[in-house]
Amino acid sequence: MNTDQVLILIAISAYITGTLSFLIYFLSRENWAKMAGIPFAFIGCVTQFVELFYRWQTSHIWPLTNLYGSLSLFAAMSVLIFIVFALRYDLWFMGGFVLALAAGFLAYALTWNEGYLPAVPALQSYWIKIHVPLVVSSYAAFMVAFVSSVLYLIKYYGERSIRGGGTPVRARAATGGGAQFDVGLSMQAAPERRPRPIIGGDSPNLESAAIAGNPLALWLATLPTLAKLDILTYRIVSIGLPLLTVGIITGAWWAKEAWGAYWQWDPKETAALFSWTIYALYMHLHTRNAWRGLRCAWLAAFGFITIIFCYLGVNIWISGLHSYKM
Amino acid sequence: MATRVRESVDEVLGQLSNFWFGMSLLAVWGVMTLIGVVVDQGKDASFYQTNYMPALARLVLRLHLDNIYHSAAYLGIIGLILACMTLATFWRVIPARLPPLRGVKIAAIPLNASVEIAGDEATVRSRVEQFFAGRGWLVRKREQGGVEWTFADKFNWARKGVLIAHVGFVLIAAGTTLYWAFGYSGQTAILAGSTVTIPENGTRFTLDRFRYRIDPIQTKSGTVYQPIDYVSDVHVAAKNGPLETRVLRVNHPLDVGDTLYYQASYGFAVPFTLTKNGRPLPNVPSAPLREGEGFAVGDTSRSIQYARFVGTIGPGNTIGADPRPNDPGVILNVFDGGQAIGQVLVPLERGVDLGDGYHVEAGRYVLYSGIQYRHDPGIPLVGLGAFVLLTGLCICFYLLPARLFVRLDPAPREAGREAWTVGIAATTVKGYEIFEEQFHALVEALRESEPRSESVAGSTRPVAAAT
């Protein structure tokens, strides 16, 4: 087993162990599980970057010229973006899902690892060091946004199943009062004189069901409020969309240098434009009260499906100017 | 009459800028784009007949799905989307994002709070204004209905971010239009040793030599023949210009007289001879053919197409993996009445019988270089548009324009002491939730900035109340 393979093995093992730790934390809210998962997320991410750098230095071939390299960077960047957001907004509860996806993508990347292949002429450009990392980073951000939007949907429909219909946050806001759960997720009543938050509270039905001991309600109450999850998704998409925009622009500039036209309606370009439109739509619609929340969560989840189609579907199944599998 | 016309125009504009109309257009565009991604574009009819099920091939050809991105319907949808976006931007979004300075019912805004500050009105107002101005808020005052309002704005200029982003789109569209109006593009293939003239500008290209490098690389799943380099050694002369020796390679276009030339492709051109009963037939082109080109077989309904070059013919007349011309041959497609009836692998400088006395022979290959050229005066504008678009997007995404509405009302006198209740409400362009923590921190700071004052807990009204 060479150094390259050892590093990959360490990364995958770290992600799997981190996934288990974070899933335990997600389900039980045991702090030790979170504290155990965090180092594994760091180890996996750092090891992956080391592996890509090692690959570059030993072969003198830029590692992102094939699907293995880009998928590997995708997994590493998604974990890196997750860590940055988790440190800033305490998102460790999402760690199990992000690390599981990262491990899955990394394992899938291995199936495309054919060794060190020099780049084909079209890829022998400095643009590859700009365009590909930007685009792959945007995909990674959208993956993290996908996880938070799916958690939003889980919480939304969980709350609805307890309440039996309606819109939880609005209902809570409209009625006010009741005990509340901080985002820190301990069951504490708000101080008397403190302003009642919009985003800090769950629906009163969820709160009362949790107080009554409903296990689903108790567990749902440990998740951040719907409004908070919605804002988290928005903030992550706010990172991903500009990255994708710059990625498309640099790609167009590169295409102009390599092929003579900055836009050729190649399947990859078209699919990327479609995904960009979905996320641009998300950002526009998020400014509207009627769309913020549930509809935007569905849109962010759908957006990531289009990203997967753009990334893997086009590369693998559809031939075009971007068919760089090996 | 004029009123009726105006109403009709308003109705049309209202419909065009309608959100759901825009969504419907996007959905149609999405479906058409998906078809374009899934269905191979720009191929010959024979390609679909060969590779698709007959019914699907007919559908693709009859509905012109083989060139969907250049169809009138597709361009029309894009035009409508642009019109819809423009109208929605200027008719609905921008007016809503640039609200006038007008008083509000503070208690009706979900983000509201009140702070009681001791002192006379002028002193309290001055303190409040200084507090916000000191924290980078733009403070302005207006008197409305006998009440003096103080408005504090953060990133007020950033409200125009959406406008800047859309200006970026307009610049890109303008740059593209410049290309349509004054630009041109095309492609040409030059056989080694021959010269071509670009029809649009008279530039002459002579291909001295074409070099390629393909390396066999050992991978886990076997040997892969990886292309490493394509290079054209050319002599080029712009119209009335001097002759220059240049090297053209992928990713390094040549700029000759404001037109860029790109190394796009290469191939193996092959001359063919067709005989019947040993006598040469005249209807075969004398020049070597490139992949995709063909000729009719005598006066029959059959035709032959040079499908592709095979570098190495393996044992048992199979196609070898090595694309380099070791033991080369060509694959010919045979058609009868436009229908593909078979394929045949023909070794170079040897022939194959086609039946009825016909015999086709492939000669020695000649390398050719595929060159693409493009004169695009709109590129600087497109680049500027991309930059402006990105700037606008960053302003929209990373800055949060917020407005505070502040009014003073006399507080009940206690122990003869004068005090004022400072009512504060906040709105942002991205809803209330996203600003809630900052708002409460701001109110708390205002409260703590006045140690002698007594404060009343702020209250946050439900979002639903405002929606």
**Residue tagged 């988790």 (tokens):** A86
In angstroms, how far is CA B206 from the centroid of its own chain?
35
A253-298: pLDDT as tens digits: 888 888 777 887 788 888 899 899 899 889 888 887 788 889 999 9
Calculate mean pLDDT across residues A227-249. Answer: 91
Global ipTM = 0.70
> What pLDDT score does B196 carry?
92
**Quick check: B396 pLDDT over 50?**
yes
Confidence band, pLDDT 50/70/90 cuts, at residue B453: very low
User: For residues A52 and B186, what is the distance between their CA atoms, to the nearest angstrom?
Assistant: 40
Could you give the angle at the alpha carbon of A79 between the alpha carbons of A73 and A84, nearest 5°? 120
Question: What pLDDT sits at residue B404?
Answer: 93
This prediction has a pTM of 0.76
Residue B373 region by backbone torsions, left for phi larger than 0, else alpha for psi between -120 and 50, else beta? beta
* Structure-token pair, residue A124: 């022998």
Residues in a beta bridge with B266 = B369
Contact A230/B at CB under 8 A: yes
On whether any CB of chain B is under 8 Å from the CB of A186, the answer is no
Task: Out of A170-179, B321-330, B339-348, pick the least confident.
Answer: A170-179
pLDDT at site A201? 63
Distance from the A119 Cα atom to the nearest Cα atom in chain B, whole angstroms: 7
The reported pLDDT for the residue numbered B258 is 87
Distant-in-sequence, close-in-space partners of B69: CB < 8 Å, separation ≥ 6: A265, A270, B36, B41
> How far apart (Å, rounded) are the C-alpha atoms in residues A298 and A294?
6
The fraction of chain B above a pLDDT of 70, given in percent, is 95
Binary contact (B397, A270; C-beta < 8 A): no
Q: Which residues of A touch B465 (CB under 8 A)?
A: 173-174
Cβ atoms within 10 Å of B145's Cβ, excluding its own: 6
Partners of B248 on chain A (C-beta within 8 Å) are none
pLDDT of A322 over the 70 cut: no
Using an 8 Å CB-CB cutoff, list chain A residues near B41: 265
Q: Which two tokens stand for residue B336?
A: 């009868």
pLDDT of A320 > 70? The answer is no
Looking at the predicted structure, is the pLDDT value of residue A189 above 50?
A: no
Which chain A residues have a beta carbon less than 8 Å from that of B467?
170, 289-290
Nearest to A326 among B224, B436, B462 (CB): B224
Question: Which residue of chain A has the CA closest to B434?
Answer: A231
Q: pLDDT value at position B91?
A: 79
Which pLDDT score, from 0 to 100, does residue A172 have? 38
**B226 neighbors B217 (Cβ within 8 angstroms):** yes
Residue B42: CA count within 13 A, CB half-sphere: 8
Q: Does residue B457 surpass a pLDDT of 60?
A: no
- Which helix (DSSP H) or strand (DSSP E) does residue A111 occupy? none
Cβ–Cβ contact A211 with B under 8 A:
no
**pLDDT digits over B265-300, tens only?**
889 999 998 888 888 887 788 889 998 888 888 778
Which residue is associated with the tokens 């409400």? B425
Averaged pLDDT, B226-246: 88
Nearest to B267 by CA among B183, B176, B351, B365: B365
A241 contacts on B by Cβ (under 8 Å): 393, 397
pLDDT, one tens digit per residue, over B297-320 is 877 888 889 999 999 888 888 888
CB contact under 8 A, A261 and B433: no
C-beta atoms of A198 and B37 within 8 A: no
pLDDT at residue A166 in the model: 43
Domain ranges of chain A: 1-118, 169-221
> How many A-B residue pairs are in contact by the CB < 8 A criterion?
155
Domain spanning B106-155+400-466, CATH architecture: 2-Layer Sandwich (3.30)
Mean pLDDT of A75-89: 93
Does the distance separating the beta carbons of B38 and A230 come in below 8 Å? no
Annotated domain spans of chain B: 2-97, 106-155+400-466, 272-362
Give the gap in angstroms from C-alpha A18 to the nearest C-alpha of chain B. Answer: 30
Q: Which residues, at least 6 apart from A79, have a Cβ–Cβ distance to it below 8 Å?
A: A15, A41, A44, A45, A48, A98, A99, A102
Is residue B12 within 8 Å of B45, Cβ to Cβ? no
| Closest CB to A122 among B38, B250, B379 | B250
Question: In angstroms, what CA-CA distances link B214 with A120, A245, A323, B138, B228?
Answer: 9, 35, 18, 65, 6
pLDDT tens, position by position, B101-149:
888 888 888 889 988 888 888 888 898 999 999 999 999 989 888 889 9
